[in-house]
Amino acid sequence: MDKRPAGRLQVATMDDATTRLAGALAAALRTPLGGDVRIEDLRRLTGGASRETWAFDAVVADGALRPLILRRDFADKGRPTLASLIGIDDDLDRRGEFALFQTLANAGLPVPHPVAFPDQLEELASCFVMERMEGEGLPQRLLREETYAEARRIMPTHIGTVLAKIHALSPAELPHLPERTPARQIDIVRRMTALGPAPRPVFELGLRWLDERTPAAPPQRLVHGDFRNGNFLVGPEGLRAVLDWEYAHIGDPMEDVAFVCLKPWRFGKVDAEVGGFGPRDLFYRAYEEAGGGPIDPETVRFWEVLANLKWGALCVARAMAHLLGVQRSVEAAAIGRRVAETEHDILELMG
């Protein structure tokens, strides 16, 4: 048995790359934080298939401690991303995401405040640093622990209110974001499904169904693009922040409305349609009362089918990455067998 305390163990296992990263961060944060900086407790957090997230504390000259988060693209630059495989080259990069965070924070939206975009050192290519807020983000805990019972009750309302505020921002006042019309989103999903190893009749039928129902001219607003349980920071009192804006784009706001209701993001609480927290009518009402909408159920259904197709194609891609040895794990293998669930949901939605 290893009797060393957890803190010692962490220091003992900090590898060369982590030590170099800590040194680079200390140098890069001198100017933004106004003086000498000591980096403590630098550790990689789990989660995130395409980006790394690190947590650390910056101790500044007067001894004050700043809890911070580092977000950076995978260090393995040689590995093709899903976006590159399907010919998408205009997704937000980390500089764009940082600029968006600045705009959102200035507009008073609940997001972690961005702190620095240090791009002068190799270790810190494609990354940014932001405030580390207190709160819980893990869906399994949020949906099951007693601490969050009251939060669960209020979350559908909080989610609706915040989403309406996000969609109320004028695209003209935002930094440059990729545009994603409904037709473009269908095209992206079609390319994703084409990456799979075998023909999938349900995917093909879903794509045809979408073709026939493409919203003609939806409003063009800021869309979060990954708006779901798992990207919310929550306290016992409710929603504290909306995280992970890397898929933000200009598009149909109903895309976000649909996404947060998707079955995979209910984490087993299937009857609580809004992220496993609670009923859809509370969410819709809060959204419309806060100035969003109006919500057309048929448009939401279009985006739910599209998002399910995208998730299904992503499940196939994760399983293939496992089978090809790109990213092997039992989790990736298991995700491959979740495609049947997605196809079941798509058929149900199409009616």
Positions in the binding site for another protein (CB under 8 A) = 46, 198-202, 204-205, 208-209, 212, 270, 329-331, 333-334, 337-338, 340-341, 343-344, 347, 350
What does the DSSP 8-state code read for residue 76? -
Query: Of the two residues 206 and 292, which places its CB atom closer to another protein in the complex?
Result: 206
Confirm if 227 and 261 have CB atoms less than 8 A apart.
no
For residue 110 the two structure tokens come to: 């609940």
Going by DSSP bridges, is the β-strand pair 249-251/221-223 parallel, antiparallel, or unpaired?
antiparallel
Query: Of the two residues 90 and 331, which places its CB atom closer to another protein in the complex?
Result: 331
Shortest reach from residue 334's CB to another protein, in Å:
5
- Nearest 5°: CA angle at 31, between 29 and 36? 65
For residue 90 the two structure tokens come to: 């205009």
Shortest reach from residue 46's CB to another protein, in Å:
6
| Sequence-separated (6 or more) residues with CB below 8 Å from residue 148 | 136, 141, 142, 234, 236
Between CA 104 and CA 106 the distance in angstroms is: 5
Query: Of the two residues 97 and 343, which places its CB atom closer to another protein in the complex?
Result: 343
Query: Of the two residues 123 and 145, which places its CB atom closer to another protein in the complex?
Result: 145
Shortest reach from residue 239's CB to another protein, in Å:
26
Select from 345, 348, 152, 124 the least CA-distant residue to 236.
152
Between CA 269 and CA 262 the distance in angstroms is: 11
- Residue 148's identity, in one-letter code, is Y
Between CA 283 and CA 289 the distance in angstroms is: 10
Shortest reach from residue 255's CB to another protein, in Å:
22
What sign does the dihedral 9-15-17-21 (CA atoms) show?
positive
Query: Of the two residues 56 and 209, which places its CB atom closer to another protein in the complex?
Result: 209
Shortest reach from residue 326's CB to another protein, in Å:
18
Shortest reach from residue 204's CB to another protein, in Å:
5
Query: Of the two residues 101 and 267, which places its CB atom closer to another protein in the complex?
Result: 267
